Structures are given as structure tokens and as C-alpha cells.
Amino acid sequence: MTNYRILAASIAIAAGLMLQACYTAPAPTPVPTRSIGERFDQSWQAARGAAADVGVRITSEDRSSGTLRGTQGSSNVTITVITQADASIQVGFAVSGGGTSQDANVKEHLTRAYQRRMGR
């Protein structure tokens, strides 16, 4: 009977020690912030790449105004990359001139290609 008491006491002590050694997660590491210029550049390059991915031939680029213009078939494509007042970047795709369904299809493909290039 004495052996059971010693065994029970040992188990209780071991359990108490194990509870004190619980894992604590490390403090979260802050995400490095990128400058607005770096984020604009990433969005600009992703927009240019998306245009190439879907076969849009870029006819003009004006980085200072954030505008890319091009064509795909009979559709005219305008891509805008704009820095907002809250320091976010807004990218827009406008497609016209190729018929409603064709234009919608080109816009959808551009959006998906852009999202893919941005890792979303």
C-alpha cells in the first residue's frame, strides 16, 4: 500500500511540474512596411504583366499619371494605378469598343491575371 502512495505522489508532482512548463507562443514579429513608392511599383509591374498575360498590346504608358493604354483585338484597354489619400493603391481596368461580352471577358481576365501576379 505504501508503494501506491509513493507512486500517486510521484504522478501528482510530475503532473504539477508539467503544467508549469506549458508552451507560450513568441511575441508576433512586426510585418515590415514598404514605402508607398515600392507598393506603387509592385502594382504597376503587376498591371503591366497582367496586360501581357492576357494579350493586351500596350500602346502608351504614363507612369506619372498611372495610366497604361493598349488594345486587344477590337477592345481598347485603359489600366489606371492610382495612389489614394490613405496611402493605398487603387488599380482599375476599363475596356471598351469590342462588344459587351468581349469587353467584359477581357476585363475579367485582366483582373484575374493582376490578382494572381499580386499573390492574391
The distance from CA 70 to its chain's CA centroid, rounded to whole angstroms, is 25
- On whether the CB atoms of residues 34 and 45 are closer than 8 A, the answer is no
- If one counts every other C-beta atom within 10 angstroms of the C-beta of residue 103, the result is 19
Grid coordinates belonging to 50: 497582367
The confidence score (pLDDT) of residue 18 equals 61
Q: Provide the residue type at 51 as one letter.
A: A
Digit-coded pLDDT (tens) for 59-92: 999 999 999 999 999 999 999 999 999 989 999 9
Q: Which helix (H) or strand (E) holds 55?
A: none
Grid coordinates belonging to 65: 499619371
Digit-coded pLDDT (tens) for 43-63: 999 999 999 999 999 999 999
